[in-house]
Structure 1
Amino acid sequence: MRGYWSWRGDAQESSANVTTADRSGGSEARIGADDGDSSWGQAIRVGVGLWFVAWCCYLIFAAVVVAIAPPRRTDPGPSYDWMFRVYAHWDSGHFWRVAAHGYLSRGRHDVNVAFFPGYPLTGRYLASAFGLGHTTLGDYQAALALLAWGGSAAASVLLYKLVAESLGSRIAGVSVVVLLAGPYSHFLMASYSEAPFLACALAAWVAARHRCWVWAGVWCAAATFMRVNGAFLLAGLVVMYVLDARANRAPLLQRRALGLLLPVGALFMYFGWIRVATGTWVGWFVAQRKGWDRYTTWPWRTLHKTVENLQLASSKVGNYQTSMELLFAGLLIAALVLLARRGQWPEFTYVGLTALSLMTSSFYQSVPRSTVLAFPIVIMIAAWVVTSRHRLLVWAACSVSVLLLLINTATFVRGYWAG
């Protein structure tokens, strides 16, 4: 098997079999795969460049927001580590607690087991390196922030590479902009596991597009250690593998497919540890219900409960965010319809399982934030922005998106929930 990182020759050839994006029949399918430079060097230059601009903008905007309207929680004010703290709210505290004190610092049934170990434990080792064995709160905050920023930078590079090989460099560049400047993209700068997960997920998808199934499994396993969404990613990769094998009339059972078992192993490792630590295999689900009142139910009940929450919302922020939950749930369904019509079954599987998990929960929670991880939707939006003849509509949609980003980022920086 040729090396994954140096493989470029078969990218365009394999795209016809491994991905169905070019068979979609949409206008983006007419953009040539050789439109511009799709090399790793170009991906790094464009991806890191756009990420750095976005990173600076997020920090500057946060500084302005804090200066005008300080967070509701007491903060010592700007200092050398201010940039590591300004986007560390809500679930960031859980990640910090796991990194600093482990999963069971508050007892055997600590809700922190709801968070997969990849992100906080990597943060622990990085913080230990910073503190030379004598770690402080600042070390953990810096480590978790740097991991998130590094993940979002890597995701930008990988998204550019993925799109440039099939749809051209122009759509690839716009895809990175859409990723970094979407309505809820502030979570890519926050001390959350979204950015590291997305980087691993895109690495797995790029590897699969090049038929490097072992590497795809390795990166998918890494993604699974970050978030439960790794299971949905694995399902999408399996569909891609089956379609590729059928297109090439190859047997389904091949040694190279064994790499796709690695994510299953990662999932069983964590749930096995939960079984040992808490005494039950369903400890993760118990933590979800205990900490966030999340449990599986019928989708119509989920919708009914969410609408009820909207009617009973006691604050403007709660009313707004619940409205966004409903809006983005509708956008997810619309995206799934488009993916199905275009025959993009691997992408449909990944996004579809993500949507299914969100829409069969007790109520819509974190639906907008989860769309940040749905990179096939990001690519569809970017292709529409580039190819649409309705420029006024494109500009209107972009303006609304940026406005929502500003509102959500300011809300999150001030310590209120935003996604």
Structure 2
Amino acid sequence: MTSGSARLVVQTWLGTRLVILLVAFYLAVVEGRALPDMFDNWDVSHFLAIAEQGYIGTDVAFFPGWPLLLRLVSLTGLPAWLGGVLLALVASGLAAWALYRLGGPPAAIAWLLAPTAIFTVVPYTESLFCAAAFWAWDRALAKQWWPAAALAAVAASVRVSGVFLILALAVLAWNQGGRRWPRLAWLLVPTAVVVGYASYLWQLTGSWTAWYDAQATGWARGLTWPWVSFQHTLDAAAPGSYANYPEWSWMFRVELVAMVIGLVVTIYALAKRRWAEGAWVGVQVAAFSISYWFMSVPRAMLLWFPLWIDLGRGLAGRTKPRPWRAAMLGALAVVALALQAVWAWLFFSGRWAG
């Protein structure tokens, strides 16, 4: 890591976090919104409730790792929401560092400029999951499978995407040749985390499908044929579908775009014979396609490190930057920051931000 490129990544991390936090302070000053209330929107309220009182009702749809961390932070005297913000900020830096190692400065910068970066600042699971998953991939590429397994276990403790990570790491382990079974055996560690949570829910609810039932009941994520899910999303994206919440239709349109991007990234990775990366993105796209409708896909794009690596490389080019390219990249950065500000405004003002 050269000092110049490292400095640019750090500056991007600081700049993007600052833009998002400035939106929060703007709303606090202009509209009189309290900071705790702005950071406690949507899933954050579920995480904080679990951290405070344990699982109740459909809250079992959320894996326990993140609420447990929030509870531990609150024991220090910090408000849980503030501790979650600090943890997310640190974890987003670690994720960017891992992406730097995987794809160079352009990959890390592209990820930091993602429009949905708000979810790497507020107390959501994205920052911690990305940090653990990206570093797990980095260690697996280096054939250091015991730290890869440990990091994958951390990722599997915070969200169901850990299941997809285990599958993709299994493909990577198999394709590395040589003695495959010892590498695959290490993946029993993160698998045990998933099985452990399922067993806990069985003891708590008496059902092995408690997690799925909570997702279907609380978030309309019941199993649906892909073409039916696509039609439901089209209907929701149609103008005027939600007269009282106009941003909802726009968000569903973004969901459609995100699914197309996921398909393109998957096909491109498979065409390049990057089987494990194709599996990592493809299995997530497949999972989203069999829900009632496409939901939370733009947020999940933060997890798709092959997207940010390829995007960064494509924008940076292979030759020495020319003035027109520098101007184009600068304009794209401004647009990205503007989109980040819009997404932050949606979230902090209590509107649906995906």
Task: Work out whether the TM-score is over 0.5.
Answer: yes
Tell me the residue number matched to 1:385: 315
After superposition, where does 1:221-232 map in structure 2 within 5 Å?
Answer: 221-232=153-164
Q: Is residue 67 from structure 1 mapped to residue 29 from structure 2 by the alignment?
A: yes
Whole-Å separation in 1 of the counterparts to 2:179 and 2:105: 37
Q: Which whole-Å deviations, capped at 9, do the CAs of 1:56-103 have from their partners, x for residues lacking one?
A: 222123222443455xxxx4x4xxxx3x65433110000000011111
Which secondary structure state, in structure 1, belongs to the residue aligned with residue 181 of structure 2? coil
Which secondary structure state, in structure 1, belongs to the residue aligned with residue 350 of structure 2? coil
Alpha-carbon distance, 1:180 to partner: 1.5
Alpha-carbon distance, 1:42 to partner: 8.6
Q: Is residue 239 from structure 1 mapped to residue 239 from structure 2 by the alignment?
A: no
Alpha-carbon distance, 1:398 to partner: 4.9
Picking from 25, 40, 57, the partner of 2:19 is: 57
Tell me the C-alpha RMSD between the 2 structures: 2.3
Q: Is residue 183 from structure 1 mapped to residue 115 from structure 2 by the alignment?
A: yes
- Match for 1:115: what amino acid? F
After superposition, where does 1:285-364 map in structure 2 within 5 Å?
Answer: 285-311=212-238, 312-314=241-243, 315-364=245-294
- Match for 2:287: what amino acid? S
Alpha-carbon distance, 1:280 to partner: 0.2
Q: Is residue 96 from structure 1 mapped to residue 48 from structure 2 by the alignment?
A: yes
Q: Is residue 146 from structure 1 mapped to residue 86 from structure 2 by the alignment?
A: yes
The 8 Å contact of residues 218 and 263 in structure 1, kept in 2 or not, is answered as: yes
Q: Which structure has the highest helix share of the two?
A: 2
After superposition, where does 1:117-196 map in structure 2 within 5 Å?
Answer: 117-128=64-75, 130-131=76-77, 139-163=79-103, 172-196=104-128
Which secondary structure state, in structure 2, belongs to the residue aligned with residue 162 of structure 1? helix
Whole-Å separation in 2 of the counterparts to 1:398 and 1:49: 13
Give the gaps of 5 or more residues in structure 2: none
Whole-Å separation in 2 of the counterparts to 1:174 and 1:44: 11
Alpha-carbon distance, 1:357 to partner: 0.9
Q: Which whole-Å deviations, capped at 9, do the CAs of 1:12-37 have from their partners, x for residues lacking one?
A: xxxxxxxxxxxxxxxxxxxxxxxxx3
Which secondary structure state, in structure 1, belongs to the residue aligned with residue 154 of structure 2? helix
Q: Is residue 113 from structure 1 mapped to residue 60 from structure 2 by the alignment?
A: yes
- Match for 1:251: what amino acid? R
- Match for 2:206: what amino acid? G
Q: Structure 1 residues 86 and 46 mapped into 2: Cα distance closer, same or farther (>3 Å)?
A: farther
Alpha-carbon distance, 1:406 to partner: 2.5
**How high is the TM-score relative to the length of structure 1?**
0.77
Tell me the residue number matched to 2:206: 279
After superposition, where does 1:365-404 map in structure 2 within 5 Å?
Answer: 365-387=295-317, 391=325, 398=333, 400-404=335-339
- Match for 2:65: what amino acid? G
Give the gaps of 5 or more residues in structure 1: 1-36, 105-109, 132-137, 164-171
Alpha-carbon distance, 1:50 to partner: 3.4
The 8 Å contact of residues 220 and 291 in structure 2, kept in 1 or not, is answered as: no
Which secondary structure state, in structure 2, belongs to the residue aligned with residue 253 of structure 1? helix
Whole-Å separation in 2 of the counterparts to 1:400 and 1:337: 27
Whole-Å separation in 2 of the counterparts to 1:347 and 1:240: 8
The 8 Å contact of residues 302 and 362 in structure 1, kept in 2 or not, is answered as: yes
Alpha-carbon distance, 1:393 to partner: 7.0
The 8 Å contact of residues 133 and 165 in structure 2, kept in 1 or not, is answered as: yes
Whole-Å separation in 2 of the counterparts to 1:220 and 1:43: 28
Whole-Å separation in 1 of the counterparts to 2:118 and 2:30: 19
The 8 Å contact of residues 66 and 158 in structure 2, kept in 1 or not, is answered as: yes
Which secondary structure state, in structure 2, belongs to the residue aligned with residue 415 of structure 1? coil
The 8 Å contact of residues 215 and 259 in structure 1, kept in 2 or not, is answered as: no
Count of paired positions: 346
Q: Which has the larger radius of gyration?
A: 1
- Match for 1:147: what amino acid? L
Which moves more between the two structures, 208-217 or 154-163?
154-163
Q: Is residue 217 from structure 1 mapped to residue 149 from structure 2 by the alignment?
A: yes
Alpha-carbon distance, 1:55 to partner: 1.9
Alpha-carbon distance, 1:240 to partner: 0.9
The 8 Å contact of residues 214 and 258 in structure 1, kept in 2 or not, is answered as: no
Q: Structure 1 residues 119 and 299 mapped into 2: Cα distance closer, same or farther (>3 Å)?
A: same
Which secondary structure state, in structure 2, belongs to the residue aligned with residue 329 of structure 1? helix
Question: Percent identity, aligned pairs only?
Answer: 27
